[in-house]
Amino acid sequence: MCGIVGYIGPREAYPIVVEGLKRLEYRGYDSAGIALFDGTELKVAKTKGKVADLEDRASKEITRHGNVGIGHTRWATHGVPNDVNSHPHVSNSGELVIIHNGIIENYESLKQELITRGYSFQSDTDTEVLINLIEDVKKQENVKLGKAVQIALNQVIGAYAIAVFDKNKPEEVVVARLGSPLAIGIGENEDEFFIASDASPFIEYTKNAVYLEDEEMAVIRFHKGIKIRKIKDDSLVDTYVQELQINLEQIEKGGYDHFMLKEIHEQPKAITDTYRGRLLTNEAIIKMAGIEDNMKKFLNADRIIIVACGTSWHAGLVAEYIFENLARVPVEVEYASEFRYRNPVITEKDVLIAISQSGETADTLAAIKLAKSKGAFIFGVCNVVGSSIARESDAGAYTHAGPEIGVASTKAFTTQITVLTLIALRLARAKGTISSSDFRTHLLELEMIPKKVEKALQSDGLIQTISEVYKNASNFLYLGRGYNFPVALEGALKLKEISYIHAEGYPAAEMKHGPIALIDENMPIVVIATKKGHYEKVVSNIQEIKSRKGKIIGVVTEGDTQVKGLADHVIEVPETLELLSPLLTTIPLQLLSYHIAVMLDKNVDQPRNLAKSVTVE
Ligand code: AGP
């Protein structure tokens, strides 16, 4: 999923676009490029690699001046990461230039048509086809750029967020979106405009933003403002300006070596911010507008279907245990990418909860649209305010984790579990499936979680020592039972995605049905063995591992002695209700993966081949 940035206004565009690309580099870092109009000429610099490589290339190749500029940081889909496939792409005439985030599915057939009309192509990308299609329409129909973009996009199948300008009319930039996110920042006096995949590239310049909806395009004119239209029928759309809630400090490292470490340490505050105003222990109530306003939907639901991807799917799995245990409602947890194509049975009596940090994950968005088309009620749990999934949902609840920049999700996971736990407790109260004393106990315990997370974070030094021991392992197993089985999956995912060590998470009891064959003195096994959850059963699993010489790293409740006597290493977490233990047991696993990846000199915040939000399928 690429990052796109643009600027048109009185300032120099180059520094704004380049700094903006650095803010969006978590979206893709295979190549980077920029196009500027310097008053006479269109200047383009692009290169395989990071934005820093682009700065180096640009300083040698182009005059970095001009008041209009567009830039791109790439996550390769069509065409390998190399200089020629990098964006921006210029049309055959050299007049039009484009940046694009998304995939044009019918680009091959469009390309063949254009070739028959004399167009030639340098790259293997779908995007170069699109800019030449726009050029061809502009010529054939003799229309302005905006109209040409609209006509061309009506011939396109796929997903896109694009920005295009014509060197002969540099006071105008045309943008459009379908499926991929696009925000426009409006300068205080409407005398300058910023274009970006999300607001982080322009929050230091303005708090006023317009989020384009699907199938919308905008013509942005210097000194003349913005005109938004529907791509399908060219109809005008009102411009809805939102005030941004995030600030610059939130998207900077704040003295930490990596965003991931900062975000791990932000979890006490993130969890507190997430339950603030919702968890009212004094009145022993939970108040969430999205739930209160739609309580009937939840109470009359035949089942709850949870759809998500990656770490968000793991949060959904924890929620399945919590909802079924507390609220006695059947829950199904679905990989969004499978659910959307499985022709699932969905009815109007289904509530679908879509979990997504970015709120832009294409498969989750498509799963929502499918369920909505069959009458299900859609409840979104997102972190990014104003994101596509938030806007597509019938109702929802934000996790207030603040911007999550590190590609490996951490604070989003624990705040997702916090929101889902609040919902389950509220439903249980409404359904009377929990006694008022139990309810109060859960509220008080949840309120204490941030303090207990702080305590768990104090094991950082010990976990560094343990990481040193196991950093060269080529495989890891993670085991957990009940609420902590999904945490085992999450721990394995964290290690895989940032250290590139192969790891698998398993229900502890499932080990005997296969994975136990992998165990020998070279296999580290992380076992979550907290006091209140099937403890004795987990202890027997540990003995089974020990008898095969596996190396055991136990995540245990403070004061544990039994596992301490069996394991090679133990990491303690404070005691809490088993149902809330995933909020604590996940912390040591996040830190273990972080320290191992740092020791292996991996790029922790931007792991290879990954991107923060997967906006294409
Ligand atoms: C997790 O660390 C990964 N970045 C990835 O699995 C992520 O959870 C997944 O892509 C879902 O993203 P979302 O929550 O933004 O929808």
Q: What is the pLDDT of residues 485-544, one digit of tens each?
A: 999 999 999 999 999 999 999 999 999 999 999 999 999 999 999 998 899 999 999 999
Task: Read off the pLDDT of each residue in 129-146 and give the average, rounded to a whole number.
Answer: 97
Task: Read off the pLDDT of each residue in 63-86 and give the average, rounded to a whole number.
Answer: 90
Q: What is the pLDDT of residues 543-592, one digit of tens each?
A: 999 999 999 999 999 999 999 999 999 999 999 999 999 999 999 999 99
Q: How far apart are CA 205 and CA 221, in angstroms?
A: 18
Q: For residue 250, what pLDDT band results from cuts at 50, 70 and 90? A: confident
Residue 574 phi/psi, 5° resolution?
Answer: -60, 155
Ligand 1 center to residue 95 CA distance, Å? 38
Give the model's pLDDT for residue 73: 94
**Closest by Cα among 435, 34, 432, 447 to 201:** 34
Q: What is the mean pLDDT of the chain?
A: 95
Give the model's pLDDT for residue 540: 97
- Chain-centre distance for alpha carbon 506: 24
Q: For residue 447, what pLDDT band results from cuts at 50, 70 and 90? A: very high
Give the model's pLDDT for residue 8: 97
Ligand 1 center to residue 90 CA distance, Å? 33
pLDDT for residue 26 is more than 90: no
pLDDT for residue 258 is more than 80: yes
Residue 412 phi/psi, 5° resolution?
Answer: -65, -35
Q: For residue 363, what pLDDT band results from cuts at 50, 70 and 90? A: very high
Q: How far apart are CA 565 and CA 292, in angstroms?
A: 48
**Considering 262, 411, 602, 612, which one is annotated as catalytic?**
612
Give the model's pLDDT for residue 224: 86
Give CA separation, 278 vs 116, 283, 359, 447, in Å.
Answer: 62, 11, 21, 11
CB 149 less than 6 A from any atom of ligand 1: no
Q: For residue 76, what pLDDT band results from cuts at 50, 70 and 90? A: confident
Amino acid identity of residue 189, one-letter, is N
Ligand 1 center to residue 140 CA distance, Å? 43
Give the model's pLDDT for residue 496: 98
Q: Which residue's alpha carbon is at the smallest distance from atom 9 of ligand 1?
A: 310
CB 497 less than 6 A from any atom of ligand 1: yes
Helix (H) or strand (E) holding 198: none
